[in-house]
Chains A and B, each alone.
Chain A
Amino acid sequence: MALKQVSSNKCFEGFQKVFEHDSAELKCKMKFGIYLPPKAETGKCPVLYWLSGLTCTEQNFITKAGFHQAAAEHGLIVVAPDTSPRGCNIEGEDESWDFGTGAGFYVDATEDPWKTNYRMYSYIKDELPKLINANFPTDPERMSIFGHSMGGHGALILALKNPGKYKSVSAFAPICNPIQCQWGKKALGGYLGSDVSKWEAYDATQLVKSYPNSHLDILIDQGKDDQFLSAGQLLPDNFIAACTEQKIPVVFRLQQGYDHSYFFIATFINDHIKHHAKYLNA
């Protein structure tokens, strides 16, 4: 599990670094960005995992979201992995932007030819935290997760499938009900096969219904002018309704005038960092 540093830049007295490593889960070289706040030089810090959306690499978030200052202030290590295995030479992996490379969908694929490499769920859940905890001054007991769009979906399902593993969860414009939207149908069908019941294991709205009575504070921001919201790809109302039914506390903020971009993320990133810092530093 050797790490190879790709880049390191000083940022708000801490360091934004990118590492590369050979992933056992994904059977390929994977990069991830990691921000080490100044506090990490003297003590263990909690880790906040960021999952990016379709087409993104580890670079988008660390270059566009502007989270560093808040992370430095609250002493959070922020890890931003890539969104899918890369360079696996699977036929058709680069054919479309919403499937294959850059669109891992944070599931463990069961269908050929994806099932060998496309195991992003396990990678995020197990391999990556293990790697991070082994190589950086982290507190393994304190971790949270958040993400954007597909990454928002990833964050929600990881939190909902693993009660207690994450102290908190939040999302920007998450794909809340993938089994009901085009992106989800394509990806889940491709990775998991045509049995829709198998998809439900990776659908946040479905997972809420069986979520145990364990405390989880969910914060969701959604741009009101998000083209994918109106296109019916995100379906937050379904998720809100399910949460209301299950009395799972969500604060869902429909932000007037914002779209699906990183400009939207950058606007509210501080609120999310604080949301996680509240539980991670409690």
Chain B
Amino acid sequence: MSSRSGSAREYETSDRSPGLSAFPPVPESSENEAEGLIFYHMDLYGSKERFDIFPEELTGQDDRSLGDTRKESALSSEKFQRSQEAGYDLEKEVAELAKMYGLDEDREKELELLGGHLEMVESRWPPARTEKAGSQGSIYNASKSSSPMKDQSQSTKQQGLPGEASQDEEENKARAEDKAESHIGSGEGLSSSDMSDEWNSQAVSEEEAADVFCSTCKMPIRAFDKLFGEHKDHEVAQLPSAVESEKEEIHKNMCKLEEQIAQMENFASHLEEIFITVEENFGRQEQNFEVHYNDAVQVLAQKYEEQLEALGEEKRQKLEALYGQLVSCGEHLDTCKELTDATQELYLENDKANFMKAAVTMVDRLEEFLKKEVDLELSTLPDFEERVIDFSEVEQLMNSINTIPAPCAPVINPQAPNTATGTSLRVCWGLFSDDTVECYQLCYKPVSNERRSDEQAEHTLKVKETYCTITNLLPNTQYEFWVSALNASGISPPSERAVYVTAPSPPTIKNKKIRSCENAALVCWESRDINPVDSYTVELSKLIDEENGDTITESIVGIPNCEVLIHLQPTQSYRICIRALNLGGSSERSEPVLIHTTGTYFCLNEDTAHPLLAILDDGFTIACDELENPECDLPVYDNSFTRCIGILGSLIPFPGKHYWEVEVEEDTEYRIGVAFENTPRHGYLGANNSSWCMRHIITPSRHKYEFLHSGMTPDIRITAPPRRIGILLDYENCRLSFFNADIAQHLYAFNSHFQHYVHPCFALETPGILRIHTGIAIPRWTALP
């Protein structure tokens, strides 16, 4: 959006234009968010203070700051050494880091979990430091090796006081070591300039200062050494420039380190997130297993109980049957014994008669008894029945550990802005629960006010994703959507119904109604849909050269009507397109129109034309063939002139200057000028106070020109009849001027403060034609009479 929107606002009510005020809400606090992600102390990397230390120190001039650095570097070197000694004791290091970075207690816990990562971070550092230390050490060594040489050059002094000299050397060495150590400790921060300063001071104490830098030996030397000393063939640089390049190098490394730190921070926070996710995921699965296995165990236990019970019952029945058989068997045996006993008694009977009496009875009883068959079959078998153990339920349970019950109803989202086109919609939905879903079943139908919605075909689609783009829809039409989730276990209930609407069809610009001037254009269009749209957007691109018109330079949004006044720049070409918008999105662009802001362009308002007036094909030539009875019984239209054979043009309602020309025949009588839109249609132009015009009359003696308003004209003679009349309407200066455009001659000017916008008007009073020319740049000579 550009300043253009402001101009649109002038003409459209701003509260009705959603696009204008559609600024995204500002996030509440980005700082909080940042804290959530970055768990190193912000000060360490975020604060400029720390970084600035180094460049400040690099100057090495301020003794105080140098001292501070030493203190600090000593501190950090101590820490470093401690960690060295601890031999990468992880716990300790983490704690130390935490202290160093100002981490609070809560964070430490997380750090422990991420210890591995930190170790990685930490392990990157010591080598770097060691390397630095090594290189600095080598410098130191080199300098040491050079000092004896210097000493030799001062042999007299050295010889004079050997003890002192050696002592000095010892002291120097000790000092140098201290410094080297402090350099090591402070790590990247220390520069060679820092060092060179110190080396300088050291050199001063011995003799003159070093002023060049030996690139080969990586040490500052005196120029003298370059010429004669061991550095004779070495590459050297001026000390300041060497310092500069070294600083630059160190700065680069600093940047790299910062980058790495940032990377690591990001990675760590990412890991943290993953960690939480893993815990959540596994926890959920554990729960799932617990529930399902418990179910399965319960079912198994129940089965066991049932089986045992059935088995016991069978056993009892069998035993009972066998026992009964045993009892009857005993009874039978008793009877047999009794009969045997009775028979034996009978044998013992000595009385024949009694014997015979008894024997007959006995024989009958025996016969009877023996008639009975003895049942020796087993009534039941000793083995138990074959039982089928039903594991199907358990199986199902076991299977259902991985197949969760049928899902709940999904939640369909309301339509998101700009997701629709004229023929397609993108529908989105989601699941409220963590249900497993194989696919979704999406249904839709057009929304219809009439109650024959059953006839409207419902469409159903299977979708894997939680969104779907439906095509082949009608533009600017409402559709109802609902969705169900499916998995192996079944289908969910359908979601609520959501109404989505497709984007409108592109509008059609009314080419013939375009009006423009140097600073504005009035464009009208019509919607191609029956349903109303929310608003329109105008896109305009300034054509630098005719080829390059693809970049939209400006757009005006939130236009409620089918008409807009666009502010433009003079003498440019614009390509203008319209889009229609509704909730669903914006339509395709309309067919573009080209507008040139050279001069004023208007068209004739055919509705106002007198029935005898003809407009030729070019649209800008008006003609009249016959004049008899202009007031005769011609059909009268609402808006057309009835007496004066005239017509109005449609000028853009815009302040400023408007210029057009009218080509006339010398023998044609005419009235041309301007009039209010509501100028009386039954009157003559210029005869009332709502029109201003120049009239040409041919008298027997001469061409007569009148400049009419309210029926009055000044007395003006024009010696050269104009063929091409220029008309300049100047709202700013309240003037309407007429010119002989061929010779730039000023003819007359009305001075009138036009209360409303006016329109060009043209009328013929003799048969003839008038040719109207628009789109002409205002000639310079019209600036003055």
Instruction: Tell whether A and B belong to one assembly.
Output: yes
Which residues from chain A sit less than 8 Å from chain B, CB to CB? 74, 215, 217, 219, 224, 240, 243-244, 247-256, 271, 274-275, 277-278, 281-282
Q: How far is the CB of B250 from chain A (nearest CB, A)?
A: 61
A274-B783 Cα distance, complex, nearest whole Å: 9
User: Does B718 lie at the interface of the complex (its beta carbon under 8 Å from any beta carbon of A)?
Assistant: yes
Per the 8 Å Cβ criterion, residues 726-785 of B in contact with A are: 740, 743-748, 780-781, 783-785
Please give the distance in Å from B567's CB to the nearest CB on chain A. 30
Question: Does the CB pair A250–B783 fall under 8 Å?
Answer: no
Q: Which of B716, B719, B747 lies at the interface centre, i.e. has the most chain A CB atoms within 10 A of its CB?
A: B719
Residue of A at shortest CB range from B781? A278
Bound form: Cα–Cα A80–B516 in Å: 47
Supply 5 A–B pairs (Cβ within 8 Å), ascending by A.
Answer: A244-B719, A247-B720, A251-B717, A252-B718, A256-B714
- The distance in angstroms between the C-alpha atoms of A114 and B421, with both chains bound, is 96
Q: Pick the contact of B720: A248, A274, A282 (CB < 8 A).
A: A248
In contact, A282 and B716 (Cβ under 8 angstroms) = no
**Residues on the B chain within 8 Å of A275, using CB:** 746, 784-785
Bound complex: CA A275 to CA B745 (Å): 9
Knowing A249-B740, A249-B743, A251-B745, say if A277 contacts B784 (CB, 8 Å).
yes
- Report the nearest A residue to B703, measured CB to CB: A244
Chain B contributes a number of interface residues (CB within 8 A of A) equal to 21
B719 engages A253 (CB within 8 Å): no
**Residue in B703, B717, B748, B783 whose Cβ sees the most chain A Cβ within 10 Å:** B717
A278 / chain B contacts, CB cutoff of 8 Å:
744, 746, 781, 783-785
SS class, residues of chain A in contact with chain B:
mixed
* Cβ contact within 8 Å between B781 and A252: no
From 680 to 703 in chain B, residues with beta carbon under 8 angstroms from any chain A beta carbon are 702-703
Contacts of B744 in A (CB 8 A): 217, 278
B719/A247 in contact, CB under 8 A: yes
Cross-chain pair count, CB within 8 angstroms:
70
* Across-interface contacts of B383 in A (CB, < 8 A): none
**Could you say which residues of chain B place their CB within 8 Å of the CB of A249?**
718-720, 740, 743, 745
Assuming the contacts A215-B743, A217-B743, A249-B745, asked whether A254 and B784 have C-beta atoms less than 8 A apart, the reply is no
* Complex interface: chain A residues within 8 A of B743 (CB): 215, 217, 249
Cβ–Cβ contact B719 & A240, under 8 A? yes
Q: Does B547 contact A (CB under 8 A)?
A: no
* List of B residues within 8 angstroms of A248 by Cβ: 719-720
The answer to whether B715 and A253 touch across the interface, beta carbons within 8 angstroms, is: yes
Pairwise interchain contact A252-B716, C-beta atoms closer than 8 A:
yes
Cα A247 to Cα B740 with chains together (Å): 13
Contacting pair B747 A251 (CB below 8 A) = yes
CA distance A224 to B715 in the complex (A): 9
Contact check, B715 vs A256: say whether CB atoms are below 8 A apart: yes
Which residues on A sit within 8 Å (CB–CB) of B714?
253-256
**Extra 20 A-B pairs, beta carbons < 8 Å, given A240-B717, A250-B717:** A215-B743, A217-B743, A240-B719, A243-B720, A244-B702, A244-B703, A244-B719, A244-B720, A248-B720, A249-B718, A249-B743, A250-B720, A251-B719, A251-B748, A252-B716, A252-B717, A252-B719, A253-B717, A254-B716, A274-B784
> Judging by beta carbons under 8 Å apart, are A251 and B780 in contact?
no
- Measured between alpha carbons, how far is A256 from B713 in the docked complex, in Å? 11
- Distance A74 CA – B714 CA, assembled complex (angstroms): 27
Q: Closest 4 CB pairs between A and B?
A: A254-B715, A278-B784, A249-B720, A243-B719
Closest to A272 in B: B785
* Of B703, B718, B785, the contact of A250 (CB 8 Å cutoff): B718
B785: A residues at CB distance < 8 A: 271, 274-275, 278
Q: How far is the CA of A249 from the CA of B746 in the complex (A)?
A: 10
Question: Which B residues lie within 8 Å of A256 (CB)?
Answer: 714-715
Residue of A nearest to B714 (CB): A253
Q: Which residues between 157 and 195 of chain B lie within 8 Å of chain A, taking CB atoms?
A: none
- In the bound complex, residues from chain A placing their C-beta under 8 Å from that of B717 are 240, 250-254
Shortest distance from the beta carbon of A264 to any chain B beta carbon, whole Å: 15
Nearest CB on B from A13, distance (A)? 20
Provide the residues of chain A in CB contact with B715, threshold 8 Å: 224, 253-256
B138 to chain A, nearest CB (A): 75
Whole-angstrom CA separation of A252 from B715 in the bound complex = 8
A251 and B784 within 8 A (CB) = no
Q: Give the distance to chain B from A99, nearest Cβ to Cβ, in Å.
A: 31
The answer for the CA separation of A260 and B14 in the assembled complex, in Å, is 60
Within the complex, the shortest CB–CB distance from A205 to chain B, in Å, comes to: 12
Cα–Cα, bound, A252→B719 (Å): 8
| Nearest A residue (CB) for B702 | A244
Q: Give complex CA distance A261, B718 in Å.
A: 24
**Complex formed: what's the CA distance from A214 to B702 in Å?**
23
**Residues in A neighbouring B719, C-beta threshold 8 A:** 240, 243-244, 247-252
CB-nearest residue of chain A relative to B715? Answer: A254
Kindly provide the distance from the CB of A166 to the nearest chain B CB, expressed in whole angstroms. Answer: 16
Point out the residues of chain B lying under 8 angstroms from A282, CB to CB.
780-781
Q: For B740, what are the chain A residues with a Cβ–Cβ distance below 8 Å?
A: 249
- For A219, the chain B residues whose CB sits under 8 A away are 746
Point out the residues of chain B lying under 8 angstroms from A252, CB to CB.
716-719
User: Which residues of the other chain, B, contact A250 by a CB distance below 8 angstroms?
Assistant: 717-720
Taking the nearest CB of chain B, how far is it from the CB of A34, in angstroms?
23
CA distance A277 to B703 in the complex (A): 28
Which residue of chain A has its CB nearest to the CB of B782? A278
A219 to B785, CA, bound (A): 10
- Residue numbers in A under 8 Å from B702 (CB-CB): 244
Write the nearest CB–CB distance from A191 to chain B, whole angstroms: 29
> Closest chain B residue to A273 by CB distance?
B784
Residues of B within 8 A of A255 (CB): 714-715
B720 to chain A, nearest CB (A): 4
With the chains together, A275 CA to B720 CA distance in Å? 17
A251 in contact with B783 (CB, 8 Å): no
Q: How far is the CB of B200 from chain A (nearest CB, A)?
A: 64
> Taking the nearest CB of chain B, how far is it from the CB of A257, in angstroms?
11
Contact across chains for B781 and A251 when beta carbons are under 8 A apart: no
Q: For the complex, what is the distance from the CA of A217 to the CA of B718, rounded to whole Å?
A: 11
Chain B residue nearest to A250 (CB atoms) is B719
Chain A's nearest CB lies how many Å from the CB of B391? 112
Inter-chain CA distance A277–B781, complex, in Å, is: 10
- Residues in chain A near residue B718, CB distance under 8 A: 249-252
Q: In whole angstroms, how far apart are the Cα atoms of A271 and B714 in the complex?
A: 15
Which residues of B have CB within 8 Å of A244?
Answer: 702-703, 719-720
Q: Which A residues touch B781, using CB under 8 A?
A: 278, 282
Enumerate chain A residues within 8 angstroms of B745, measured Cβ to Cβ.
217, 249, 251
Q: How far apart are A116's CB and chain B's nearest CB, in angstroms? A: 39
Nearest Cβ in chain A — how far from B119, in angstroms? 81
- Chain B 79-113 near chain A by CB (<8 Å), digits 1 or 0: 00000000000000000000000000000000000
Give the distance to chain B from A172, nearest Cβ to Cβ, in Å. 15
Interfacial chain B residues near A274, Cβ < 8 Å: 784-785
Determine the residue in chain B with the shortest Cβ distance to A270.
Answer: B785
Closest to B701 in A: A241
Q: Smallest Cβ distance from A192 to chain B, in angstroms?
A: 28
What's the Cα separation between A244 and B702 when bound, in Å? 9
Complexed CA–CA distance, A74 and B745 (Å): 19
Q: How far is the CA of A177 from the CA of B746 in the complex (A)?
A: 25
Q: How far is the CA of A281 from the CA of B780 in the complex (A)?
A: 11
Of A219, A254, A278, A281, most B-chain CB atoms within 10 Å? A278
Task: Report the nearest B residue to A244, measured CB to CB.
Answer: B719
Are B784 and A253 interface neighbours, CB within 8 A? Answer: no
Q: Which residues of B contact A74 (CB under 8 A)?
A: 784
Can you name the residue of chain A whose Cβ is closest to the Cβ of B783? A278
Q: Which B residues lie within 8 Å of A215 (CB)?
A: 743
Chain A neighbourhood of B703, CB < 8 A: 244
How far, in whole Å, are A275 and B749 apart by their CA atoms in the complex?
13
The answer to whether B716 touches A253, judged by C-beta atoms less than 8 angstroms apart, is yes
A124 to chain B, nearest CB (A): 25
For A277, the chain B residues whose CB sits under 8 A away are 784
Chain B residue contacts of A251, Cβ below 8 A:
716-719, 745-748
Complex-state Cα separation, A215 to B717, whole angstroms? 18
Chain A, residue nearest B740 (CB): A249
How far, in whole Å, are A247 and B744 apart by their CA atoms in the complex?
A: 15
Expressed in whole angstroms, the Cα–Cα distance for A251 and B745 within the complex equals 8
> In the complex, how many angstroms separate the beta carbon of A219 from the nearest chain B beta carbon?
8
